[in-house]
Amino acid sequence: VIVQYGGQTPLKLARALEAAGVPVIGTSPDAIDRAEDRERFQHAVDRLKLKQPANATVTAIEMAVEKAKEIGYPLVVRPSYVLGGRAMEIV
């Protein structure tokens, strides 16, 4: 099965397909997760010593407000596990 086509649905099914023994051709489910999980992606960029804008991963509104004050405005705010800009906001 090729999960790179068809939007978010096949990407979300990739792990379950792999666990069920269905061969996944192309990008591995783990690589998909690394791209979609903002925190994992940030750690990979840090490990590779690549430049990136100031950023943070938060799990509560209070944390978001605190990090926003540290980073400064404007901010790009987006959820993990969404690619293609869906649910992204500029604040």
The pLDDT, as a whole number, for residue 79 is 80
Lowest mean pLDDT among 13-17, 60-64, 69-73, 84-88: 84-88
Share of the chain above pLDDT 90, in %: 25
Q: What is the pLDDT of residue 31?
A: 81
pLDDT tens per residue across span 34-54: 777 888 888 889 999 999 888
Report d(CA 20, CA 33) in Å as an integer: 17
- Per-residue pLDDT for 63 more than 90? yes
3-state secondary structure of 7: coil
Q: What is the mean pLDDT of the chain?
A: 83
